[in-house]
């Protein structure tokens, strides 16, 4: 009897292994995952000014270390993450040497959290601020692979190594067409720093955020790392128009733009019969604004008839306000019916006190998703499974075969027992 049980268990284990082998061929998953893995390079300013004690009663460096440790704990397993420093090693006055001071603190790859935290703990504010050279090296750090690529630059001051303009460096990186996004975070409110970091981010479709508290830094870096794990939301820079007729036509994706106080921005989206348009917008107050503000997102026809709207209001307690809308386009009885052009209008009611600059406009993120409408039977039937149907079928088949074999073995075991 024991031999019979062992035989049954062995056959079931063999079937399970066979099923897994069908679903995940040896080596294919590992190679494919590595090639498609999203990559993030955190570039941290470790220049001498990071000693300043003006972030929640501690130094900028201490706040950055705390944020990095929390980010490392929360980094998704599929993300290959690295850390690069600028101004961390050369304490002298020689400009030529100081402007070469950028180093890879932790290489981009599968994350060992203990090793990465140990490396971060060794950092001490030291030297210059070579942002341009650091961005060039960071782009090299992310070379290879087909997954999304993102540089997150954290600095408390503008570049000190002109004439290598970091904004021009960012444009050069964008011109290579490698699909690399640079997001920037400024640790102190400064007009010059904001202008430079905004320019760097805009060149690659990234975002700029001003940070004054340690928890804000942690939350924003975590958000950007998580975004890298989903290539669908990699932002693309666009420029809305003052009217629908001149607006850019957008496909499904995430877009970044700038919007001044009280300004309208228009975009166009083509929606076929049977499809549904889903759109959302977020506007960030990256400067001091008056309380009581709002954002309006409208979908209208090219003849200015409103289809649907979404709106949201804020009271000054948050620096981002978001809203969204959905528009299902009904099926058409006409064959080859043309797509409908839907105009999306984004309006804000932000205002600021005298002396606050209106330009550049506030960061705007627009998400556009055009999908097949939910009325289609095929969509309803496959909801939530996607390409997993074939794996489910393989598991059902394996279960059926295992059940038949187990039943046959059970009957054989009973027959042997009765014979004995």
DSSP states of 6-75 as a string? Answer: HHHHHHHHHHHHHHHHHHS-TTHHHHHHHHH--EEEEEEE-SGGGG---BTTB-HHHHHHHHHHHHHHH-
* The predicted structure's pLDDT at residue 80: 94
Contact 325, 299 (CB under 8 A): yes
pTM comes to 0.53
Which value, to the nearest 10 degrees, does the dihedral of the CA atoms of residues 224, 225, 226, 229 take? 120
pLDDT at 375: 45
pLDDT tier for residue 416 given thresholds of 50, 70 and 90: low
Output the pLDDT for position 26.
Answer: 45
Averaged pLDDT of the chain: 82
User: Comparing 29 with 403, which gets the higher pLDDT?
Assistant: 403
Q: Say yes or no to pLDDT of 151 above 90.
A: yes
Percent of the chain at pLDDT > 90 equals 41
Average pLDDT score over residue span 302-320: 82
Instruction: With both helix axes pointing from N to C terminus, report the angle between 2-23 and 389-419 in degrees, rounded to the nearest 10.
Output: 170
Lowest mean pLDDT among 49-53, 125-129, 318-322: 318-322
The token pair that represents 28 in the structure block: 């294919």
Q: What is the pLDDT of residue 207?
A: 84
Backbone angles phi, psi at 179, to 5 degrees: 70, 35
- Supply the pLDDT for residue 382: 35
> Tokens in use for 29?
């998953």
Residue with tokens 């300013």: 45
Asked if 322 contacts 348 with a C-beta cutoff of 8 angstroms, the reply is: no
Length of the chain: 420
| Biggest CA pair distance of the chain | 100
pLDDT band of 171, cuts 50, 70, 90: confident
Instruction: Choose between 396 and 383: higher pLDDT.
Output: 396
Q: Give tens-digit pLDDT for 13-32.
A: 444 444 444 444 544 444 44
Average pLDDT value for residue range 292-301:
92
- Which one, of 303, 386, 357, lies nearest residue 195 by Cα? 357
- The burial of 31, by beta-carbon neighbours within 10 Å (0-12 exposed, 13-18 middle, 19 or more buried), is given as exposed
Whether 38-234 and 238-374 share one fold: the answer is no
Contacts of 221 (CB under 8 A, 6+ apart): 42, 67, 68, 71, 152, 154, 185
- Quick one: CA torsion of 128, 129, 133, 138, rounded to 10 degrees? 120
| pLDDT in the model for residue 329 | 87
Residue 284 has pLDDT above 70, yes or no: yes
Domain boundaries, the chain: 38-234, 238-374
Q: Tell me, what's the pLDDT at 271?
A: 93
pLDDT tens sequence across 207-265:
888 888 888 898 889 888 888 876 555 578 899 999 999 999 999 888 999 999 989 99
Span 334-390, pLDDT tens digits: 777 889 999 999 999 988 878 888 888 888 989 898 887 654 433 333 334 444 555
Superfamily of domain 38-234: von Willebrand factor, type A domain (3.40.50.410)
Burial class (CB in 10 A: 0-12, 13-18, 19+), 72: buried
pLDDT digits (tens, 9 = 90+) for 84-103: 999 999 999 999 999 999 99
The pLDDT, as a whole number, for residue 20 is 44
pLDDT at 190: 81
Q: Once rounded to an integer, what is the mean pLDDT over residues 57-63?
A: 93
Report CA 255 to chain centroid distance, whole Å.
12
Q: For 34-51, what is each residue's pLDDT tens digit? A: 668 889 999 999 999 999
CATH of the structural domain 238-374, one choice from 2.60.120.380, 3.30.365.10, 1.20.1250.20, 3.40.50.720: 2.60.120.380
Q: Which residue has the higher pLDDT, 332 or 296?
A: 296
Cβ proximity of 135 and 153 under 8 Å: yes
The pLDDT of residue 122: 94
In this predicted structure, what is the pLDDT of residue 71? 92
């Amino acid at each position: 009897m024991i031999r019979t049980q062992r035989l049954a268990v062995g056959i079931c284990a063999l079937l399970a292994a066979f099923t897994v082998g069908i679903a995940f061929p040896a080596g294919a998953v590992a190679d494919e995952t590595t090639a498609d893995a999203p990559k993030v390079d955190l570039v941290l300013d470790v220049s001498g000014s990071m000693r300043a004690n003006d972030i929640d009663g501690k130094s900028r460096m201490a706040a950055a270390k705390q944020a990095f440790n929390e980010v490392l704990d929360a980094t998704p397993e599929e993300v290959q993450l690295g850390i690069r420093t600028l101004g961390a090693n050369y304490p002298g006055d020689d400009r030529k040497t100081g402007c070469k001071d950028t180093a890879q603190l932790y290489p981009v790859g599968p994350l060992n959290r203990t090793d990465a935290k140990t490396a971060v703990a060794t950092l001490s504010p030291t030297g210059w601020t070579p942002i341009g050279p650091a961005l060039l090296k960071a782009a090299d750090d992310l070379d290879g692979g087909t997954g999304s690529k993102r540089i997150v630059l954290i600095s408390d001051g503008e570049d000190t190594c002109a004439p290598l303009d970091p904004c021009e460096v960012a444009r050069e990186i964008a011109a290579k067409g490698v699909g690399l996004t640079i997001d920037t975070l400024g640790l102190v409110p400064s007009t010059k720093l904001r202008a430079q970091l905004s320019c760097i981010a805009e060149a690659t479709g990234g975002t700029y955020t001003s940070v004054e508290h340690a928890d804000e830094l942690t939350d924003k870096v975590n958000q950007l790392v998580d975004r890298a794990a989903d290539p669908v939301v990699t932002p693309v820079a666009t420029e809305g128009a003052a009217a629908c007729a001149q607006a850019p036509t957008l496909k499904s994706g995430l877009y970044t733009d700038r919007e001044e106080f009280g300004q309208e921005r228009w975009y166009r989206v083509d929606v076929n019969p049977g499809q549904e348009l889903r759109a959302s917008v977020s506007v960030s107050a990256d400067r001091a604004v008056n309380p009581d503000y709002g954002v309006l997102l409208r979908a209208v026809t090219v003849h200015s008839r409103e289809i649907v709207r979404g709106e949201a209001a804020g009271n000054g307690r948050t620096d981002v306000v978001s809203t969204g809308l959905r528009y299902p386009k009904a099926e058409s009885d006409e064959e080859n019916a043309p797509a409908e052009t839907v105009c999306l209008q984004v309006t804000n009611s932000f205002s600021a006190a005298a002396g606050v600059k209106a330009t550049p406009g506030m960061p705007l993120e627009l998400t556009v998703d055009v999908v097949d409408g939910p009325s289609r039977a095929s969509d309803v039937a496959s909801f939530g499974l996607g390409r997993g149907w074939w794996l489910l079928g393989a598991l059902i088949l394996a279960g059926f075969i295992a059940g038949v074999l187990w039943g046959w073995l059970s009957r054989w075991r009973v027959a042997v027992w009765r014979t004995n």
